[in-house]
Structures are given as C-alpha cells and as structure tokens.
Amino acid sequence: MIVWIYGASGHGKVILDILQKLNVHVAGFLDDDDSLHVFMDYKVIRPAELTGHNFEVAMAIGDNQTRKKVVERSRYNFAPAIHPSAVISANATIEEGTVIMAGAIIQSGCSIGKHVIINTGAIVDHDCAIGDFAHISPGAVLCGNVTIGDCTWVGAGSTIIEGITVGRNVIVGAGSLIREDVPESVLVVGNPQRTVRPVRQ
C-alpha cells in the first residue's frame, strides 16, 4: 500500500520517520500551502491533485482542531503510524488514524480514539480512555483510569493522577499536575492546578 502524509511540517518529519522504520512506501506529502513543492526530498501536492484509490493517508497535523477539520472534509482511508519502539498492550484498542510515537507506552484496557496523537515517551496507564482528536504530548503521564475528552491537548511533561476526568477541548499546560476533574473548554496549568481562562471551540 502507498501512503501519503498530510502535512509538510515538523510533525510530518516524525511521521515520515515512523513510516520509513515500518518499511511503508511513502509517495509524498499533501499540503494546502501552494508555495510548497518539495519537502524532505519528497514531492508535495495539493489534496485536490490526489487521484486514484490505491493509497492511504497518514495524518501529520499536530493542532487538534485543524486535524479534525481536515479529517471531516476528507474521504481518505487513514493509515495508523505506530513507531516500532512503542509498547502497546494486546488488550488496548486503537482506532483509525491514530499516531503513536517513539517510546510511548499504552497499557492494558486502554481505549484510544480516532486521530489521536500519543507523542514521544508518553505513558498511558491501564484502563485510560482517550477521545477522538486528542493529543498527549511528549513525556506526559496518564495514570490509571484517566478519561480524556475529544480534542483535548495534554502538555509535555504533565501528570494526570488516577481516576481523573478531563473534559473535551481542554488545554493542560506543560508540566502541570492534575489532581481534580477538569470541565470542558478551559486552560488549566500548574501544580497545584488552576484554571486560567476559557478555551474557544
């Protein structure tokens, strides 16, 4: 199967590296920027130029809301990109288009939604549930039985303790310690955690 990468960016470089390690044939990049024609020695085309049926698309857009908009307007078959060094329990479920990067750990009983990013070295412990289009940043730790809502971004190096629910469309600031449930559509930061402001949807 041929795979195109959607997003000629820094995140795209990481997805390319994963697919190369998996010996996947990468045809090139898709990007909406008309000025881009070559990226990482691969051709870049506009999505409207892509024709045929014998391909899949790996999503390489880091921003949750932008990734969601692109997926919702697309009719592609989305390929997963799971780094071979990731440790994933056979009892975890991972849905379409999700990306799992180097050194990530996903333990037993976890449910990972569609088009989620589990970034480098993130730890998702047993029985966590992560909603669609969420992003768990490098080095973040979700202890057991944590629930993360759709489109939520958990910042680098953050820790969310056991049994906590974080609502949809939340931003958890880097290095935060989350010890209480978080409602939807807020920015929460710090140790102890504090809510800073609402987040637009």
pLDDT of 164-190, one tens digit each? 999 999 999 999 999 999 999 999 999
Kindly tell me the number of DSSP H helices and DSSP E strands found in the chain.
2, 24
pLDDT at 105: 98
Report, at the CATH architecture level, how domain 81-187 is classified.
3 Solenoid (2.160)
pLDDT at 1: 77
pLDDT at 53: 79
pLDDT at 200: 81
Residues of the chain with CATH 2.160.10.10: 81-187
pLDDT of 30-76, one tens digit each? 999 999 999 999 999 999 998 877 899 999 999 999 999 999 999 89
pLDDT of 141-164, one tens digit each? 999 999 999 999 999 999 999 999
b/e per residue 148-176 (b: at least 16 CB within 10 A) = bbbbbbbbbbbbbeeebbbbbbbbbbeeb
Q: What percent of the chain clears pLDDT 90, i.e. is strictly above it?
A: 93
Residues of the chain with CATH 3.40.50.20: 2-73
Flag the least confident range among 22-26, 75-79, 107-111: 75-79
Structure tokens at 172: 């958890």
Active-site positions read 126
pLDDT of 96-114, one tens digit each? 999 999 999 999 999 999 9
Q: Rounded CA gap, 8 and 138, in Å?
A: 20
pLDDT at 184: 96
Full-model pTM: 0.95
Report, at the CATH architecture level, how domain 2-73 is classified.
3-Layer(aba) Sandwich (3.40)
Rg (CA), the chain: 17
Rounded average pLDDT over 66-94? 95
pLDDT at 99: 97
